[in-house]
């Protein structure tokens, strides 16, 4: 089976491809999609749905899109749907983390969670899968693996940040890993 994964994020692509070994993932460039796909929804699920609907409408392909957000309890769910551009449109990972740590510095509550929503358009139907990983934010960046907020997020029950984990370790417990496993389970039922 071939599916288009509506992302330009090479880190996401690598994580998901490692889990979907039986499926050939096509990148946006493989279908000659070079424009920025709109992400204007006010929800994580809305953005995932918007992205895959854009591909289905404009490129007539089956595939899936995801959107992920980090929600920090003490910051009323920030950065949430704005996680990638929290500190500005240039989507600087360092600037995003620094802004988050600055805002969180006056709070004792460090609880946070990552949410990933995957929207799949396949054979004219849409299916949505969600994965959540609870954890906490730490003030010192640790690790050089992963991407985004991984160096400051420790999942519950662990003493390592996502950025200190191997791809396989992270996939077992992460928000994206959980959502992708739900996607895999659904696709396996189609066989």
DSSP structure string for 83-136: GGGTT-TT--HHHHHHHHHHHHTT-S--EEEEEEEEEEEETTEEEEEEEEEEEE
Q: CA-to-CA distance for 145 and 163, rounded, in angstroms?
A: 4
∠ CA 118-184-119, nearest 5°, is: 15
Q: Is 191 a catalytic residue?
A: no
CA distance 87 to 30: 31
Active-site choice (30, 62, 66, 67) = 67
Token pair recorded at residue 31: 């279908």
- Alpha-carbon gap, residue 113 to 115, rounded angstroms: 6
Q: Which residues are catalytic?
A: 67
């Amino acid at each position: 089976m071939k599916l288009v994964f509506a992302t330009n994020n090479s880190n996401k692509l690598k994580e998901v491809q490692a889990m979907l070994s039986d499926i050939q993932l096509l990148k946006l460039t493989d279908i000659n999609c070079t424009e920025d796909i709109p992400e204007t929804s006010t929800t994580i699920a809305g953005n995932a749905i918007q992205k895959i609907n854009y591909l289905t409408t404009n490129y007539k392909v089956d595939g899936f899109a995801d959107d992920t957000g980090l929600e920090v309890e003490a910051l009323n769910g920030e950065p949430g749907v704005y996680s990638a551009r929290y500190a500005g449109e240039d989507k600087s990972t360092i600037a995003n983390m620094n802004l988050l740590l600055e805002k969180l510095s006056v709070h004792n509550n460090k609880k946070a969670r990552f949410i990933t929503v995957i929207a799949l358009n396949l054979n004219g139907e849409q299916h949505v899968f969600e994965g959540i990983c609870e954890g906490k934010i730490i003030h010192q960046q640790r690790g050089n693996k992963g991407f985004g907020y991984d160096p400051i997020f420790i999942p519950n029950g662990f003493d390592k940040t996502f950025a200190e984990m191997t791809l396989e370790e992270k996939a077992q417990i992460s928000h994206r890993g959980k959502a992708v496993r739900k996607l895999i389970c659904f696709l396996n039922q189609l066989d």
